[in-house]
Amino acid sequence: MKIHYLLRRIHLYLGLFLFLFFIKYAISAIPFAHNNLLNEYYKDKPQWEVIQTQEYTRPIPEDADLNMLAKEILADFGDKGTFWANHNTYNNRLNINRHSFWSDTRYTYKIDEKLMIMEIKHFRWDHFIQKFHWIGGYHQNRFINDFWAFMIDLVCIGIVVWIATGLYMWWKIKSARFWGSIALGGGILTFIIFLIAL
């Protein structure tokens, strides 16, 4: 099998495999660029709604593993999944944000008051789309999160290979070298300008 034929097939099948990921990143980048406009659209709609307030007591050791502690607290309320946790020492509160693609729940444990406040976030399409960029990760110690992160690693490698095979095929088409060089040079120049100016 000739190397040119092999690289064409790699480029083709990588494009088919990656097309949803390309669409995902293309669409999910839009809310970041138009964040002010979207916030203006949603400004009259409440972002969070309190769904439950109850007494709750759990000691918070200074040397506690925060992620393990947050996982245990979520289990106390019959919840589990992707989350972020932080201990605000200024007002002595433990904040746990429980995320999924379709919903978000915020747990605020007021340690001194022995009070747990649970809030649900009203759905926003722009926030749903933005989650494609950050919801997974190896730090969650869950198979589905690890698998998502592993797939993103493969996608990143695949994109580099897809670009490399595309460059190779472009260079092999002599009639396309001139305009291809202009397109490539224009893209590189634009990227450099943004790096310097922003």
Q: Which of 36, 198, 35, 41 is nearest to 130 (CA)?
A: 35
What pLDDT, on a 0 to 100 scale, did the predictor assign at position 33?
87
d(C-alpha 34, C-alpha 194), whole Å = 18
DSSP three-state, residue 108: strand
DSSP three-state, residue 44: coil
- Identity at 192, one-letter amino acid code: I
CA dihedral 30, 33, 39, 40 (to 10 degrees): -110
Contact indicator for 77, 92 with CB cutoff of 8 Å: no
pLDDT in tens, 97-133: 998 888 899 999 999 999 999 999 999 888 888 888 8
- Identity at 16, one-letter amino acid code: L
pLDDT beneath 70, residues of the chain: 1
What pLDDT, on a 0 to 100 scale, did the predictor assign at position 134?
80
Q: Where are the domains of the chain?
A: 3-38+141-197, 48-121
